[in-house]
Structure 1
Amino acid sequence: MNQSIISTFLLFVLIAPIFGQMFYPKHKMTKKYFIITLKTVTWHEAFYHCRSIDMNLVSISSKAENDQIKQQIIDEGHIEFGQFWTSGTKLPDNSYKWLGIGKRVGFSDWFSGKPDNFNENDVNCIQILEKGKGWNNAPCNLKQHIICEQELIEYEYCNH
C-alpha cells in the first residue's frame, strides 16, 4: 500500500510540470513607470509614497531600462522638471543598492565625476538629473520629483 502511494506521488511530481506547461500560458515580467511631478518630496517620502500605492521607487537594471525612463520623461514633457528620485541608496561599504528590488546596482549611468563623496555622510541617495544628464548621488533630504514603477505580468496564449 505505501509503495503504491509513493509511486503515484513520484509519477505526479514528474508529470505535473509537463501538463502545467500545456495548460498555463507563458509569461514575462515588464515594468510600467509613473512619473509624479505634482510635488517634490524627500527620498524617504518618495519611497513610502510609491509603497503606499502598491509600487516601488524606480530601480534601473539595464541601459535599455534607463533609456526607456529618460525617453518617457521627455515624451511626457517632464524634461524641465529637474531631478527625480530612484530607489538607489548607498550602503556602509560605499556601494549602492536598489531598495525597490533589493539588489546591488550593476548597470549605472553616473554623471561625469559621480558618485562623489562631497559631504561624505550626506550623499546617500541616487537621483536622475535634469535633462537626462545621468545619475547623481545626493542628500536624501532634498526635495525631488518621483518615479514609481509597477511590475506587470504579460501572458502569451497559444492561438492554435
Structure 2
Amino acid sequence: FIVCLVPSVGFAVLFSSLSKNVYWTNNGWGWEDGESLMSFFCLNMLVVQEQKTWEDALEHCRKNDTNLISLLSWAENYLAMKEIEPLTFNESVWIGMRYLGDSWMWVNGDPLEYTAWLSGEDQDYQCPRLSRCGALTKEGKWEIRDCEEKLSFIWARPPSCKAGRTEDTC
C-alpha cells in the first residue's frame, strides 16, 4: 500500500482514496486541510517474503529500480513495522542499513541520525564484529545480523503516477 507522511506534525496518513484536494507545488506534494496547505510525502512499501542474503536482497531491489528501505524517522520506522507485523513469519527483515568502514550508513546515502536499536545492541552497534547488516524486528527495533543470513526484506520507493498522468496531475 501507499503510505503518506506529514513531517511537520509527525503522523502518517494512509491514502486509499483521496477525499482532499491534493496539489503538486514547487515544494512537493500537499493537500488543503481547509485552512492551509499541508505538505506530505508518500512511500510505496513492499515486504518481499523470499529469503535472501543482505547483498542478494539489495541486488533484487535494484533490479526493480528501488532500494532496501531507509528508516530516517520514527514515523517511517513505525510504518515499516506495521507493514511486517501481520506477516506469519517470526524473523526480522533486512533494511537498507550496513556497517562500512567505521560507521553505519543507509544504502541511499542518507546519514544515520534517527536510531531504534534493540536493547543491548545499542553498545555493539558502534563496533560490530562479524554481523554488519541491519534488520528490523516485528517490534520495530533494529538488530545487527550476519549479512550472509537469509531473511525476507522490505523496500520502499515513491509511488509512481498512473498511466497518462504527470507529477503535477497524479
Does 1:142 find its partner at 2:149?
yes
Task: Give the structure 1 partner of residue 19 of structure 2.
Answer: none
> Which of 56, 61, 82 is residue 72 of structure 2 equivalent to?
61
Structure-2 change in CA distance of 1:83 and 1:61 (3 Å): same
TM-score, scaled to structure 2: 0.66
Determine the structure 1 residue equivalent to 2:96: 87
The letter of the residue matching 2:159 is L
Paired with 1:153 and 1:41, the residues of 2 have a C-alpha distance of 26
- Whether 1:30 and 2:42 are equivalent positions in the alignment is yes
Higher relative contact order (CA 8 A, sep 6+): 1
Does residue 97 of structure 1 match 2:105? yes
| Greater strand share, structure number | 2
Deviation at 1:57, TM superposition (A): 0.6
Instruction: Determine the structure 2 residue equivalent to 1:78.
Output: 87
Unaligned stretches of 5+ residues in structure 2: 1-22, 30-40, 162-166
CA shift at 1:152, angstroms?
A: 3.0
Shift of 1:71: 1.2
Q: What SS is found at the alignment partner of 2:134?
A: strand
Query: How has the CA–CA distance of structure 1 residues 78 and 92 changed in structure 2, closer, same or farther, with 3 Å as cutoff?
Result: same
The 2-side partners of 1:120 and 1:70 are apart by: 24
Structure 2 CA distance for aligned equivalents of residues 151 and 97 of structure 1:
20
Identity across aligned pairs (percent)? 25
Runs of 4+ residues over 4 Å off in structure 1:
153-157
Unaligned runs of 5+ in 1: 1-23
Deviation, structure 1 residue 81:
3.6
Q: Offset of 1:25 from its aligned partner?
A: 3.6
Q: How many Å apart are 1:79 and its aligned residue?
A: 5.5
Change (3 A) 1:69 1:133: closer
Indicate yes or no: 2:48 matched with 1:40.
no
Structure label with greater radius of gyration: 1
Relative to 1, partners in 2 of residues 1:136 and 1:44: Cα closer, same or farther, differing over 3 Å?
A: same
Q: 2:117 aligns with which of 105, 110, 113?
A: 110
RMSD: 2.3
- TM-score, normalised to structure 1, is 0.70
| Whole-angstrom distance in 2 between the partners of 1:151 and 1:133 | 22
